[in-house]
Amino acid sequence: MTDTTQKAAVEVIPAAPVPAPPTRRTRVRRGVTPWLFLVAPLALLITFTYAPIANMIAYSFTDWDGVSPELHSTGVENYREVFTRPDLFEVFWVSGYYLAASVVQIVLALYFATILSFNVRFRNFFKGVLFFPYLINGVAIGFVFLYFFQDGGTLDSVLSLFGVKTDHAWLGTPVSANTSLAGVSVWRYLGLNFVLFLGAIQSVPGELYEAAELDGANRWHQFRHIIAPGIKPVLALTVILSISGSLSVFEIPYIMTGGATGTETFVIQTVNLAFRFNKTGLASAAAVVLLLIILLVTWVQRRLVPDDKVDLV
């Protein structure tokens, strides 16, 4: 590579006490140096993000099984299948449970962030408790809640304390299983939203509250007119993260039910298609569809809430 020679040339240039007008050499040097820093990151970025996307789009128009050297172009057949085969498209409805759960989650997180940003006893303890689940390993959470929903497990025992006798198989029917799993995801992710909201609320200048209180505003007014506008960018971010999160749920249902009793999500299905049934072509088409939906959601959000903080340069 020419890079080494360039670098050697750089080192022999004596330091000029006054920035001299750029010679040809320094111009070349300035041109090359940033790329030396960027070679590794860019190579990784292209290899593990852009090449897969390009390949995936290419596979999605073929009947490839992921192993054999033979692959045939099938046009848009895979896409037709994704949208018309009811068993393939059905999994999208499961996302509905997680979307509904995200609404609950955001509301709860907002509530707790608001009350804990004011003076409350044991504030740090409550903060820690609410946030900690977000840090726990997903497999461990899966097991904790498998036991929670077991026959005679935690939930049944708690209910019997209140005199409610159930022999309800919580993970036994699609509706109750999906509701339970969505509940687990609220338990798990509430903390992240909570901490984001908390950070945003605390960046609202404190004098605003004092002024509002002097004007006789109560807590609800303060929330409505000071906090809510103050955290709008974070709220928008949370909404978009929730939507794309709801569409790409994988871990908890895969660990807890393996996708049985109607809890299969889009990603579980794609993983099964690709790695268990060797339908790489079809799985790629499904993944492209998911990717497009998520990009669309993000784009809509960026249009609705122009966020001036996203400028990287």
Partner 1 sequence: MTRRTIARALVYFSLIAATLVVLLPLVVVLLTSLKSEKEMANTSGALELPHDLLNFHNYVTAFQDGEMLSAFTNTAIILLISIGGTVLIGSMTAYAIDRFTFRFKKLVVALFLTAALVPGVTTQVATFQIVNSFGMFDSLWAPIALYMGTDIVSIYIFLQFVRSIPISLDESARLDGANAFTIYRKIIFPLLKPATATVVIVKGITVYNDFYIPFLYMPSEDLGVISTSLFRFRGPYAAHWEVISAGAVLVILPTLIVFLSLQRFIYNGFTRGATR
Does residue 111 interact with partner 1 by CB under 8 A? Answer: yes
Does residue 112 interact with partner 1 by CB under 8 A? Answer: yes
Cβ–Cβ under 8 Å, residues 298 and 233: no
Q: Restricting to residues 6-35, which ones interact with partner 1 according to CB under 8 A?
A: 10-11, 14-17, 30-31, 33-35
Does residue 248 interact with partner 1 by CB under 8 A? Answer: yes
Q: Restricting to residues 51-90, which ones interact with partner 1 according to CB under 8 A?
A: 51-53, 55-56, 59, 66
Does residue 98 interact with partner 1 by CB under 8 A? Answer: no
3-state SS, 72-129, equals: CECCCHHHHHHHHCHHHHCHHHHHHHHHHHHHHHHHHHHHHHHHHCCCCCCHHHHHHH
Nearest distance from C-beta of residue 28 to partner 1, angstroms:
12
Which range of residues in 74-82, 85-93, 146-154, 222-230 is near partner 1 by CB under 8 A? 146-154
Q: Which of 209, 241, 261, 262 binds partner 1 (CB under 8 A)?
A: 241
Nearest distance from C-beta of residue 200 to partner 1, angstroms:
8
Nearest distance from C-beta of residue 111 to partner 1, angstroms:
8
Q: Which of 154, 173, 210, 306 binds partner 1 (CB under 8 A)?
A: 154
Nearest distance from C-beta of residue 283 to partner 1, angstroms:
5
Residue with tokens 């499961």: 94
Does residue 179 interact with partner 1 by CB under 8 A? Answer: no
Cβ–Cβ under 8 Å, residues 198 and 117: yes
| Nearest Cα to Cα of residue 93 among 189, 180, 175 | 175
Nearest distance from C-beta of residue 307 to partner 1, angstroms:
10
Nearest distance from C-beta of residue 165 to partner 1, angstroms:
12
Total of residues contacting partner 1 (CB under 8 A): 104
Q: Which of 76, 103, 104, 158 binds partner 1 (CB under 8 A)?
A: 158
Q: In this structure, what token pair is assigned to residue 57?
A: 């789009």
Q: Return d(Cα 210, Cα 99) in angstroms, integer.
A: 37
Which range of residues in 20-28, 72-80, 82-90, 197-205 is near partner 1 by CB under 8 A? 197-205
Which amino acid would we find at residue 245? G
Q: Return d(Cα 238, Cα 192) in angstroms, integer.
A: 9
Q: Which of 23, 160, 166, 173 binds partner 1 (CB under 8 A)?
A: 160
Cβ–Cβ under 8 Å, residues 98 and 245: yes
Of the pair 6, 176, the CB lying nearest partner 1 is at 6
User: Which residues contact residue 65 at a Cβ distance below 8 angstroms, ignoring those fewer than 6 apart?
Assistant: 278, 279, 280, 281
Q: Return d(Cα 300, Cα 313) in angstroms, integer.
A: 22
Which range of residues in 71-79, 96-104, 166-174, 248-256 is near partner 1 by CB under 8 A? 248-256
Q: Restricting to residues 253-292, which ones interact with partner 1 according to CB under 8 A?
A: 255, 267, 270-271, 274-275, 280, 283-284, 287-288, 290-291
Sign of CA dihedral 254, 258, 259, 260: negative
Q: Return d(Cα 135, Cα 242) in angstroms, integer.
A: 17
Could you count the other beta carbons within 10 Å of the beta carbon of residue 267? 20
Indicate left, alpha or beta for 66 from its phi (over 0: left) and psi (-120 to 50: alpha).
left
Does residue 132 interact with partner 1 by CB under 8 A? Answer: yes
Q: Restricting to residues 205-234, which ones interact with partner 1 according to CB under 8 A?
A: 219, 233-234
Nearest distance from C-beta of residue 290 to partner 1, angstroms:
5
